[in-house]
Amino acid sequence: MGTYKQRFKQKWGNDMEFKHTSVLLNETIDSLHIKPEGVYLDGTLGGGGHAYEVCRRLNDKGRLFGIDQDGDAIDAAKKRLEEFGDKVTIIRNNYCNAKEALKEYGVDKVDGIVLDLGVSSYQLDNAERGFTYKYDTPLDMRMDQRQNLTARDIVNGYEEWELYRIIRDYGEDQFAKNIAKHIVLARTQKPIETTFELNEIIKAAIPAKMRAVGGHPSKRTFQAIRIACNHELDVLSEALEDMIDLLNPWGRLCIITFHSLEDRIVKNFFREMENPCKCPAEFPVCVCKKVPYGRAVPRKAILPSEKELEENARSKSAKLRVFERI
């Protein structure tokens, strides 16, 4: 019979093409204020959608560095950006390591940065990657397949209180406590191996009348486990200061978020960078000597147009925030 994964590969195969529709593409490219001779970083390269449009606007002196931790994304981006030749350097890494990675190429400043957070359409639609509740596949959810920790490890190995915290905080699911309880109870019978097995456990933990509204009952839990598996919020929080440090004066950082917690982290960080002064409010003048690093442009998040929402349902929760260094 073979392992479940072997049987899965026999059923689905491995020939899926990396496809991803870049969200808020025009808005992001416009916000970068691209200089033809500039140096740019796409820290979440994916299939190269944003990077391609940046490269189109560069002259022979311009350069683009693309970073991604997903091997499939790296392969796809190399093909997508091949026509730009030496203008493009692609690095397999996590964007939180961008500062050190760029140093290896003699680059310590860039003119613009793009971070398109979250999971790509390819990762969601490629059943074998185990991100989606729509296919019966082994639980995985790793963005970097070199990583040891998988969704299976979390579901079968974490304590009930840890699962509750993850589902409550990262999935914002009102039934987090009951879902965690059902997961722990189910795994006493046998390990939870597949997405559909987890689906059934989540379904049993949510009242029938609540399952009838609000979309698929597994959506929030799968999102939460994916965020935990890839340490997405920790990586974002740790990387933001480096992103600002990398920018030249008047360079811009464009971040696209898909989750309220991500957006909150970005929004609060931008506010802090605009006004880093730590002096008490009653002080007549600043004595901490911390000066603003730049400003958010515009003040509020940029949202997808009605046209984009109609054409790409996955853009629904997207928000673009832009910070300009001074």
Inter-axis angle of helices 260-274 and 232-246, nearest 10:
30
Q: Phi-psi category of 67—alpha, beta or left, where left has phi over 0 and alpha has psi -120 to 50?
A: beta
Contact status, residue 322 vs residue 33, Cβ threshold 8 Å = no
Predicted structure pTM score: 0.89
Average predicted confidence (pLDDT) for the chain: 91
pLDDT level of residue 199 (50, 70, 90 thresholds): very high
CA distance readout (Å), 141 to 152, 192, 225, 229, 286: 9, 14, 8, 7, 47
Say whether pLDDT at 2 is over 60: no
Report helix, strand or coil for 204.
helix
pLDDT level of residue 124 (50, 70, 90 thresholds): confident
pLDDT tens, position by position, 158-170: 999 999 999 999 9
- The predicted pLDDT at position 200 comes to 96
- The predicted pLDDT at position 18 comes to 52
pLDDT tens, position by position, 285-321: 777 778 899 999 999 999 999 999 999 888 999 999 9
CA 48 to chain centre: 14
pLDDT tens, position by position, 239-298: 999 999 999 999 999 999 999 999 999 999 999 999 888 878 777 777 777 889 999 999
> How many of the other CB atoms lie within 10 Å of CB of 7?
11
pLDDT level of residue 13 (50, 70, 90 thresholds): very low
Q: At a CB cut-off of 8 Å and minimum separation 6, what does 315 contact?
A: 23, 24, 304, 308, 309
Of the candidates 140, 101, 99, the one whose C-alpha atom is nearest the C-alpha of residue 119 is: 140
How large is the C-alpha radius of gyration of the chain? 21
Say whether pLDDT at 190 is over 60: yes
Say whether pLDDT at 149 is over 90: yes
Report the share of the chain in percent with pLDDT over 70.
Answer: 94
- Paired strand residues for 253: 113, 323
| 212 or 14: which leads in pLDDT | 212
- Paired strand residues for 256: 116, 320
Q: Which domains does the chain have, with CATH numbers?
A: 25-121+232-325 (3.40.50.150), 148-229 (1.10.150.170)
Say whether pLDDT at 183 is over 90: yes
Say whether pLDDT at 65 is over 80: yes
Which two structure tokens, joined as six digits, stand for 252? Answer: 């811009």
Say whether pLDDT at 80 is over 60: yes
**Max Cα separation, the chain?**
76
Which two structure tokens, joined as six digits, stand for 169? Answer: 């905080």
- The predicted pLDDT at position 242 comes to 98
What's at 206, amino acid-wise?
Answer: I
If you write DSSP's letter for every residue of 257-305 in order, what string do you get? E-SHHHHHHHHHHHHHHH----S-TT-SS--S-----EEESSSSPB---
Report the share of the chain in percent with pLDDT over 90.
Answer: 79
